[in-house]
Amino acid sequence: MLILECPYCGVNAEETELSAGGEAHLKRFGPGSSDDNFHDYLFVRENPRGVHLERWRHANGCGKWFHAARCTTTLEVFGTYSAQTTEPPQEIKDKISARRPGWSWREFS
């Protein structure tokens, strides 16, 4: 069972207490953007075997959104961090690097 620590209230919540919000750090494209960008923003998703960055919501708890760094093949959790950021903090990147040297996810590594 997947257990994530909510970075706001500090609770170690298991997955029935959380709701998954999909890929993290999406750049939003709206009216006036190109068809390619709009298509990719709406439908195309990172679907890696390995390190993945996601949004989660502590739905049956404090109700706040946060980010998590996780491995999709082992379910190992590298860390969770605030939703108020557009990229993973250095501390999280270091934690991932310690476990998965040479990792990359989109433009981050």
Using CB under 8 A, list all residues that contact other proteins.
Answer: 1-2, 15-16, 19-20, 22, 35, 39-40, 42-45, 47-49, 52, 54, 70, 72-75
Q: Which residues of 23-62 are buried (b: 16+ CB within 10 A; e: fewer)?
A: ebbeeebeeeeeeeeeeeeeeeebeeeebbbbbbbbbeee
User: Which is closer to other proteins, CB of 59 or CB of 62?
Assistant: 59
CB of 59 to other proteins, least distance (A): 11
User: Which is closer to other proteins, CB of 28 or CB of 49?
Assistant: 49
Name the β-bridge partners of 52. 70
